Structure formats: C-alpha cells, structure tokens
Structure 1
Amino acid sequence: MSHSYQSAPASFKYSDPPNSKWTFGQKIEATPEGREWMEGSKEGWKTVDATTEDARQLYGLLVSGIAPRPIAFVSTISEDGVENLAPYSWFNQVSAFPPVLSISCTRSVDLTRIKDTLRNIKTTKGFTVNIISEPWIAHANVCSIDAPEDIGEWLLSGLTKEPSVHVKAPRVKESAFSMECELLQTIDIPDPATSIVATTLVLGSIKYIHVRNDVLNERGMVDPAKFKPVARLGGTLYARIAEGYHLDRHTWKEHETRIRELAGADSSDE
C-alpha cells in the first residue's frame, strides 16, 4: 500500500520504514541493520533486581529505558484559588472511549509531602493537560523549578492563561492541544517495604479538547510536522520529533495463505 506523504516543513520529513521488505517469520539477522543490532547482544545483559536496587539508580534506569514519553503540562488551581503549573512525563492516554488519561504523581524524596498538583486535583476535581510543542519548551521546563510556594510558575514561564470551558483551572494558550479533565480516580501506590504511599496515579476523564486548526490535517488529525511535539528521555534529555514513517497494519484476509504456509513448514520441521 502506498502513502501520499503531505508536504512538511524542513524540520520534519516522512521516510520509508526501517526494513521495509521484511516478511513473516524472517529473522532479524536477515538484514545488515539487524545483524549489526544483534551484535550488541554479545556484550551480555545486566539484570537488575527492582526490589533491591537503589531507588535513585532505579529511577534513572527506568526513565531512560521507558522512552520516549509524552509530557503532561498540568494546570491546576487550589481551593483558595492559587494556580499551579507543572510538567509530568509519567503520563499517557488510557483509553479513547471513554476518553481517559493518566498522570503519575510521585511524592517528595522522603515521602512526606505530596505535590501541589495532586493536592489541587484531589480538592477541586478539575485540571487541564497541555501538550508541549518545541517553540515553548523552555517556558514549560522552568515550571519544574523548586521555587517556594509564594512564587507562581505562571509568572516565571511567561505563558498565557486561557479560560477553560468546564473546569476552573486555565489552559495554556500557547499549547496547540489542550484537554480539560475531571478527576475520575486516584490510586495510591505504596512502597512494598514500608507500606507508605510513594506515588499516586491520577486517572482523569477528558471532557473538552482544544486543538488549533492550523495543526490539523485534512482528516482532522494532528499533523506532527506542524504540531512539533516534544518527547522526554532520561535525565535532562528531551527529543525532537523530526522524522516519521508509516507501517501498514497486517490483516488475516490479506496474508492468510502465506501465514498458513509458514505454519505448515514450521510444524513439518519438528
């Protein structure tokens, strides 16, 4: 199946997928790229016991290995009207219908203090998640600063508050894709050794989506070339989304004969 690639800015390009001639059952070593990749396995494996590994080492390993990750730029407001803005990279979509997303809120190092974002969500039940694009990543990044409570992140960021439709917390005007969310459920995750809550998983129901018309393609989907979303890696490393490729979905109807031939040959070898 051929794809008609849309024209895109120079900062983003569509390309052919890796190993585009792969076929069912073919080993990775069948291509030079695959053989080169598997050469690394000769160096062996490091096996980490997650139940005994140092917490900081485990954190670093996980955030660098589970990557890239989308970033939730969360706007909340306290019961007293204090507004908070914070980035979270432990974030993702849970389901499309009903539309639900998740944010993982880790407590302070000594597990004694929950973050303002979690406290505000629990109290007011509403928040917005604003997807970060490359032109304003510095504005968002500064909101992770360990500033005292009397210093607001909105002031530091230079970003613009835009009223929401359903929740009290404002959305970020600079974000080309924002979601107004209502608290669905919180799930406390305890430290297995002490039973002290170390992290709380927030599930939010998406009530309204605000998406800029100029980042949509003719099918009503977000065009990554125009959206320029930012991805999170390990440590202080972020990623630029500069290239994309299509991979067709396989269907049984289209490939049944070939797969049955492959299955038959495999059983005859046993």
Structure 2
Amino acid sequence: MSVAASSTGCYQIPAMSLPPFDHDAHTKYTEPPNASWTLGQKIENTESGRKWLEGEEQGWQIINTAEDTPQLYPLMTSAIVPRPVAFVSSVSETGVENLAPFSYFNTVTRNPPIVSFSCRNAPRVKDTATNAKNGLGFTVNIISEPFVENANVTAIDAPPDFDEWIISGLTKTPSIHVKAPRVKESAFSMECDLFQAIDIAHPVSGEITATLILAHVKYIHVRKDVLNERGVVDITQYKPIARLGDISYGRVGDVFRLPRPVWEQEREKIEQASENSQLS
C-alpha cells in the first residue's frame, strides 16, 4: 500500500479495500530467527541471511542531510521503527489541559528513572513543550490497541486554548503528585516532573527546531491485569502500539527471546571463534 504526502505535509491513504483489523490475533512467543546460530557465524551461512544479502545487489542511496530535502523527515521516520509513543497529558499555567502523542520517545536511565520525548517547534512551539516547563508536572501514558484512534485524534493541529480531551473520548483521572491528569484507559502511566528541557538549535541557522524533554518519573500507575508472575508487564496482555512511517501504526507480532551473553560462560567459545576467524 502506498501512502502519499499532500502539499500540507499530511498523508492520505489512497481509496482501496483493506481487510478489517484482526482482533483475534495475539502476540505469541517463538524461537529467534536463527535458533542454531553460533559465535562468529557469518550471516551468509543462514538461509534468511543469504536472502537478506541479495538486496545489496541493487546498491545504496546516499542522502546528504545538509541538503534538508522534503525526503529527509519521512525517510527517517519510516526507517527508525518501531517507535514507542508517549501520550502526554499536561496543563498550562492558566489551567488549560492538553493531551498529545509524541513518537520521539524512549527511556533514558533507570536511576534516577528518566524518560525522554521530543517536541517539534514547527509550525509553532508545541503546547506540551511550554507546559512541561511550567513546574506543574505532566503524565506520560502508554497507548494500547483498544484506544489508538482516541489517542491519534489528539494529534490535531488545534489552537493553544483547545482541550484535546474533549474530542478524545478518553477519561481524566487524578494524579497523586502532578496537576495534570493521567489517562484512565492507559494500562501504564507515569507521573513526571521536568528534569531538563533542552532546546535543539540548528547548527547552521541557529533556529530552535525542537525541544527535548527529560522527564523524572515520580510515580507509576500500572494495571494489575497486564503484569505477569514476575511483576513485569506481559506484552501479550499489554497490547502497546508503535509508530511507523507516514501515518502508519503497528502492533507487536511474534516475540522471541535472546539471552544476553556472559563472558565467563562463553569464554572458550569466543576464543575458538577468534582462532577460526584468524585462520580464515
């Protein structure tokens, strides 16, 4: 399916017949893609690896980012995927509440618990960036499949005094520490204080093009039904959505687990792989 960009930067899906969303599809655990892989094994020695390398025959396209072409933004957001989405609830100094999604989002540190999200300043400074700096705190909520449409509508380019909660159909619920409410429908919400706001200046023009918000997580609200017996989130129950390129979203499909190697346990295999590499 191709998705075209209009002159305003919005994306339109061509009229076509799409299958309905499969509500019966569930995340499941599988083996990793190359379950028999061994230390130092070349990618061409696996079936999937050989097929992957065939694509190199078509060559490479190189983009000079100094030439800020219209292609740059859609290319980066379609390639750096999937991205989690921060659904941020904030409030202005005058009491106007704001709700907006941000896909430039991730964790930063665990001690102290810091998360980050970035707000673009075009065509104007985002209300969320302004509100995050006012000392009243904000909440970062995670979006799950059942209310993705509710969350998506809050990305509308509304005027500063508009409360997106009105059109979202979502429910405000009081926070413990911050003035901004959290989203009741979210199975995982974080109450945050501003840790640091970093204005991103273009290295040539000096224009402030974005603001990076580092948020200190003070309280977490997590629904018990999405936790497993180890007290961590069960992805099969959580059903988080992810941001892809253009106006596309994705959900978690098959999941596989790969243990992180431990040097002392793998030392002999590593030494053998190193010897084999030097001989080849």
Query: Once the two structures are superposed, what CA deviation does each residue of 1:175-219 show, in whole Å capped at 9, x if it has no partner?
Result: 000000000101111112210111111101000000000000000
Pairing partner for 2:177 from 161, 166, 170? 166
The separation in 1 between residues aligned to 2:146 and 2:275, in whole angstroms, is: 54
What letter is aligned with 1:184?
F
RMSD across aligned positions (CA): 1.3
1:95 corresponds to 2:106: no
- Alignment: residue pair count: 257
The alpha carbon displacement at 1:150 in A equals 4.2
The separation in 1 between residues aligned to 2:50 and 2:92, in whole angstroms, is: 55
User: What fraction of aligned residue pairs are identical, expressed as a percent?
Assistant: 53
1:266 match: secondary structure: helix
Pairing partner for 2:61 from 21, 37, 46? 46
The alpha carbon displacement at 1:126 in A equals 0.8
Instruction: Structure 2 unaligned segments of length 5 or more: list them.
Output: 1-23
Conservation of the 8 A alpha-carbon contact between 1:79 and 1:120: yes
Which range moves more in the overlay, 127-136 or 236-245?
236-245
Query: Once the two structures are superposed, what CA deviation does each residue of 1:104-141 show, in whole Å capped at 9, x if it has no partner?
Result: 011013xxx21110111111341100000000000000
Pairing partner for 1:137 from 120, 145, 148? 148
What letter is aligned with 1:229?
P
Query: Once the two structures are superposed, what CA deviation does each residue of 1:52-102 show, in whole Å capped at 9, x if it has no partner?
Result: 131x32111111111100000000000011000000000100011110001
Mapping 1:1-270, distance limit 5 Å: 11-54=26-69, 56-109=70-123, 113-268=124-279
What letter is aligned with 1:246?
R
The separation in 2 between residues aligned to 1:52 and 1:128, in whole angstroms, is: 37
Conservation of the 8 A alpha-carbon contact between 1:94 and 1:101: yes
What letter is aligned with 1:46?
Q
TM-aligned CA distance change 1:12 to 1:266, over 3 Å? closer
TM-score by length of 1: 0.92
The separation in 2 between residues aligned to 1:260 and 1:59, in whole angstroms, is: 44
The separation in 2 between residues aligned to 1:108 and 1:119, in whole angstroms, is: 13
TM-aligned CA distance change 1:147 to 1:123, over 3 Å? same
Instruction: Structure 1 unaligned segments of length 5 or more: list them.
Output: 1-8
Conservation of the 8 A alpha-carbon contact between 1:77 and 1:124: no
